[in-house]
Amino acid sequence: MLYDVLIIGAGPVGLTLAMRLGLNGHKVCVLEAQSDIETDLRASTFHPPTLDLYDEQGITAQLIDSGLVAPTWQVRMNHTNEFAEFDLSILKDHTNHPYRLQCEQWRLSGFLRDYIENKLPNVSLLWGHPCESFNQDASSVVVNSKSSTSDLTTFKAKFLIGCDGARSIVRKNLCLEFEGQTFPETTILATTHFPFQDYLDHLSYINYCWTSDGTFSLLRLKNLWRVSLYPSLDESIDSAVESQSVRRKINQISSSFGDSPILEIRPYKIHQRVVKQYVVGRVLLAGDAAHINSPSGGMGMNGGVHDAFNLADKLNRILKGEGIELLNKYERQRRPIAIKHVIEQSSKNRARMQEKDMSKRLLTLQELKRKSQDKSLALDYLLETSMISGLAESLNID
């Protein structure tokens, strides 16, 4: 069978592309290496324009039902309780969802899968089917996949999209440079049911915090708090991921934490990279396969979803008769935005919280307070950090 589009990877980006292309009647097949949706805790913030994009298919309503609407976010000095708080309701003339939504990314993947399985018979989702390699010629792409239950199987399509994440096989097969850097620090993610909101005054659902000698973030989900911590100066990563060390650091955030259970501890490194090309003939890249950034500010998955909506529109038009050169517009519209908005903003967010000099931190906090209290400054800043400016700018690129 000749598919219109083969998608490698059933993460949020691959499934969004499958839904958008399937809605236009195209024959789509998604090959996913894992046997089911990955449920590890990764992205947990949905920005306003992402919620606007998913509205039409009712996915946004499902996300809101299972998430927490966060009308504000803060930068705080934890030991003095001083904070700058941004109120997203100021965005009400620019989005139908003037808030951030706190919800796990695997829930989005589940809603997209259910939508596809129930409403789009023209889309096949094949779990346990890793892509091993592919070849393309002027009219099609052939993918080789080997499932646990079958020998090497080939799949043929007019287009192939690599949505296979940061370690993308598709990107590696194209021999494209993934330019950028890996940051020196290791982040330690911990989750707990402990009700920080009962012990820290005026806490928002999203809090980026400084301590007297470090930094952490506190992000709330419906049933838990996600705490991002960093090893102390003299501490190895191995010691920093021990529960004793994590407990000690959380007790510095709130001494009432005591022996409360810690549900999960997971270290991860932060990278910022963008691939040289998004389009090579009939093979495209989207989401983490094309760009990765610091999670500070919650922009990675959102940016990938914006790629997916843009690319689905271009492929839909090409499959209906427009020229293949329209794909170059996808690259022109999305690659500079990943660099100028997603990478730059998330890197600024990271650098602000990693600052060690207390006088510089205090200056930053004063500046953020001033911004948050001035309507026009707050609006500009929130249009940028909520990814509204970047998305609008991308659509204006010819």
Ligand X SMILES: Cc1cc2nc3c(=O)[nH]c(=O)nc-3n(C[C@H](O)[C@H](O)[C@H](O)COP(=O)(O)OP(=O)(O)OC[C@H]3O[C@@H](n4cnc5c(N)ncnc54)[C@H](O)[C@@H]3O)c2cc1C
CA 274 from chain center: how many Å? 14
Cβ neighbours of 234 (radius 10 Å): 6
Handedness of CA 245, 249, 250, 254 (dihedral sign): positive
295 binds ligand X (CB under 6 A): yes
Report the site for ligand X in 346-375 (rule: CB under 6 A).
none
Q: Compute the least distance from the CB of residue 375 to ligand X, in Å.
A: 27
Give, in degrees to the nearest 5, the angle at Cα 281 between 278 and 283: 55
268 binds ligand X (CB under 6 A): yes
Contacts of residue 388, defined as CB under 8 A and 6 or more positions apart, other chains included, come to 47, 48, 49, 91, 94, 95, 382
Q: Compute the least distance from the CB of residue 115 to ligand X, in Å.
A: 16
Q: Compute the least distance from the CB of residue 41 to ligand X, in Å.
A: 7
Residues in contact with ligand X, shown as a per-residue x/- string from 273 to 292 under the rule CB under 6 A: --------------xx----
- Residue span binding ligand X (CB under 6 A) among the ranges 21-29, 36-44, 314-322, 363-371: 36-44
Please, what's the b/e burial string for 239-268 (b: 16 or more CB within 10 A of its CB; e: otherwise)?
A: ebbeeebbbebbebbbeebeeeebeebeee
5 binds ligand X (CB under 6 A): no
Q: How many residues bind ligand X (CB under 6 A)?
A: 34
250 binds ligand X (CB under 6 A): no
Query: Looking at beta carbons only, is 164 or 331 nearer to ligand X?
Result: 164
344 binds ligand X (CB under 6 A): no
Q: Compute the least distance from the CB of residue 153 to ligand X, in Å.
A: 13
Residues in contact with ligand X, shown as a per-residue x/- string from 175 to 214 under the rule CB under 6 A: --------------x-------------------------
Q: Which of 6, 13, 59, 123 binds ligand X (CB under 6 A)?
A: 13
11 binds ligand X (CB under 6 A): yes
Comparing CA positions, the residue from 153, 155, 123, 158 lying closest to residue 142 is 155
Query: Looking at beta carbons only, is 34 or 373 nearer to ligand X?
Result: 34
Amino acid sitting at position 97: H
Q: For 55-59, which contacts have Cβ atoms below 8 Å and span 24 or more sequence positions?
A: 55/96, 57/19, 57/23, 57/115, 58/115, 59/108, 59/111, 59/112, 59/115
d(CA 14, CA 164): 8
Contacts of residue 255, defined as CB under 8 A and 6 or more positions apart, other chains included, come to none
Comparing CA positions, the residue from 74, 37, 39 lying closest to residue 264 is 39
Residues in contact with ligand X, shown as a per-residue x/- string from 76 to 115 under the rule CB under 6 A: -----------------------------x----------
Q: What is the DSSP string of 266-289?
A: EEEEEEEEEES-SEETTEEE-GGG
Contacts of residue 94, defined as CB under 8 A and 6 or more positions apart, other chains included, come to 48, 383, 388
67 binds ligand X (CB under 6 A): no
Residues in contact with ligand X, shown as a per-residue x/- string from 298 to 327 under the rule CB under 6 A: xxxxx-x-----------------------
Q: Which of 34, 89, 212, 223 binds ligand X (CB under 6 A)?
A: 34
Q: Compute the least distance from the CB of residue 362 to ligand X, in Å.
A: 27
Please, what's the b/e burial string for 114-129 (b: 16 or more CB within 10 A of its CB; e: otherwise)?
A: ebbeeebebbbbeebb
d(CA 213, CA 189): 19
Q: Compute the least distance from the CB of residue 259 to ligand X, in Å.
A: 26
Q: Compute the least distance from the CB of residue 149 to ligand X, in Å.
A: 15
Query: Looking at beta carbons only, is 98 or 298 nearer to ligand X?
Result: 298
Residue reference for tokens 């948050």: 372
Residues in contact with ligand X, shown as a per-residue x/- string from 130 to 169 under the rule CB under 6 A: xx-------------------------------xxx---x
Q: Compute the least distance from the CB of residue 300 to ligand X, in Å.
A: 3
DSSP 243: H
Using CB under 6 A, list all residues that contact ligand X.
8-14, 31-34, 38, 42-45, 105, 130-131, 163-165, 169, 189, 268, 287-288, 295, 298-302, 304
